[in-house]
Amino acid sequence: MRYSQEDYTRAVEVIRSRTTLTPKIGIVLGSGLGPLADAVESAVAVPYADIPGFPLSTVQGHAGRLVIGHLVGQPVLVQQGRTHFYEGYDMEQVTFAIRLMRELGVETVILTNAAGGINTNFDVGDIMLIVDHINFVGMAGHNPLIGPNDERIGPRFVGMAQAYDRQWAALARRVAKEQNITLREGVYAGLAGPFFETPAEIRMLRTCGADAVGMSTVHETLVARHGGMRVLAFSSITNMGIDKLDTDQEANHLEVLEAGKAIVPRMTALLRGVLAEMAHA
């Protein structure tokens, strides 16, 4: 799918017809984290189905709407339910919301996701600050920047050495400490899914320097950085990657959703703290 500037403009018009608020912070909610959107005040919800061009989420645990309003005084746009590459959408479609955020005036994107833990020091229920990523799918040629570049949005060749904003990362560490929330940090490996990894793949990812693995986020970060937006990102560690053959364990989506649910109160507290601090940064 090649979107034109007119496609984004049409989507922007629909949203602007529902609210006059200009969101400055975009928040993407990962698997099981949907309830965070309930905290948005004087919220206007726009279902994806009402937005031309918007791909519809087909996965259980992902609602499909943008929620625009205030969170701790900050004008936000919350993407409640993301679409994934494994659903059959292409990379441009799965990052449509991120480009749309930019068109609406968003300056910082906060990405959340559910991820499998690879770092053996992690536990299920941990929150990990993403400090860097490995975009396996993107490196293999599936990424939303493939194709003609629109210089009005960003440069042809995007530097990704500072993909995750260091100032926002420092702020998140500070807030976590103040709130007594254990904040892990590490490298997120982005794969296509929808399968969970084999033990050999988990060990390979560990050798590659990854601390967590998931099926989203990296292409969103790419589009955000291309468009000049700042990125702060967190993984909820919903399961540990299985790295041995001598076990009957299997990862499954239900445990991902359940663990995600358990993390919601802590993730909410962390995000609220971060948003409050961002206002003075």
CB of 9 to ligand HPA, least distance (A): 34
CB-facing half-sphere around the CA of 162: CA atoms within 13 A: 8
If the CB atoms of residues 237 and 275 are measured against ligand HPA, the closer one turns out to be 237
CB of 184 to ligand HPA, least distance (A): 15
Give me the residues that bind ligand HPA (CB under 6 A), please.
114-116, 193, 196-197, 213-215, 238-239, 241, 251, 256
Q: In angstroms, rounded to a whole number, what is the distance separating the alpha carbons of residues 154 and 228?
A: 7
If the CB atoms of residues 100 and 115 are measured against ligand HPA, the closer one turns out to be 115
Is residue 84 annotated as part of the catalytic site, yes or no? yes
Strand partners, 78: 27, 67
Catalytic residue (one of 45, 63, 86, 142): 86
If the CB atoms of residues 151 and 248 are measured against ligand HPA, the closer one turns out to be 248
Catalytic residue (one of 8, 48, 57, 84): 84
Is residue 57 annotated as part of the catalytic site, yes or no? no
Is residue 215 annotated as part of the catalytic site, yes or no? yes
Distance, CA of 32 to chain centre: 13
CB of 58 to ligand HPA, least distance (A): 16
253 with 46: CB under 8 angstroms? no
What are the percentages of helix, strand and coil residues in the chain, rounded to 5? Answer: 35, 25, 40
Is residue 89 annotated as part of the catalytic site, yes or no? no
Determine the 3-state secondary structure of 234 from DSSP.
strand
Catalytic residue (one of 57, 216, 235, 236): 216
- Nearest residue to ligand HPA by CB is 116
Catalytic residue (one of 43, 189, 215, 233): 215
Strands (E) located in 38-73: 41-47, 65-71
Q: Which residue has the tokens 């998140």?
A: 172
If the CB atoms of residues 17 and 252 are measured against ligand HPA, the closer one turns out to be 252
Q: In angstroms, rounded to a whole number, what is the distance separating the alpha carbons of residues 44 and 35?
A: 15
CB of 257 to ligand HPA, least distance (A): 10
Q: In angstroms, rounded to a whole number, what is the distance separating the alpha carbons of residues 115 and 130?
A: 11
Catalytic residue (one of 89, 197, 239, 278): 239
If the CB atoms of residues 214 and 227 are measured against ligand HPA, the closer one turns out to be 214
Q: In angstroms, rounded to a whole number, what is the distance separating the alpha carbons of residues 50 and 229?
A: 25
Q: In angstroms, rounded to a whole number, what is the distance separating the alpha carbons of residues 206 and 120?
A: 9
Residues classed as catalytic: 31, 62, 84, 86-87, 114, 215-216, 239, 253
